[in-house]
Amino acid sequence: MAEWDKHFKDISQKDWDKLLSDALKYWDELDDDNDIIKNDSDAGLETANCPMHPNVFFGLCRVKGFNECNGYTYVDYVKKWTERREGIVFV
């Protein structure tokens, strides 16, 4: 079974709603203590100072290969983003 299938295949609407709700709560808890500057003008896209918004993350989960690079949960994604941001130059 593919890793993506373990997380998303045959997920119920209730479980999907819980994933999104938990991710939005995590987003709300991100703040300047983590050197994160939320910027609404970027339509939720990832920047050098802010991970992508959970709505964007879950929208991209349907793109083949996205989760392999970015994690299967929003929390995992933010951890990977935090690790990457030190070594990547954003334009």
Q: Give pLDDT tens digits along the chain (91 positions).
A: 577 777 777 888 998 899 999 999 999 888 756 677 777 656 788 888 889 999 999 999 889 899 999 999 999 999 999 888 877 655 4
Tokens of 77: 């994604």
Domain residues for 50? 13-85
73 within a domain of the structure (yes/no): yes
Residues 6+ apart with CB under 8 A from 34: 82
Residues 6+ apart with CB under 8 A from 30: 36, 38, 50, 51, 78
35 within a domain of the structure (yes/no): yes
57, 22 in Cβ contact below 8 A?
no
Instruction: Output the pTM of the full model.
Output: 0.80
How many domains are there within the chain? 1
Burial zone of 6 (CB within 10 Å; 0-12 exposed, 13-18 middle, 19+ buried): exposed
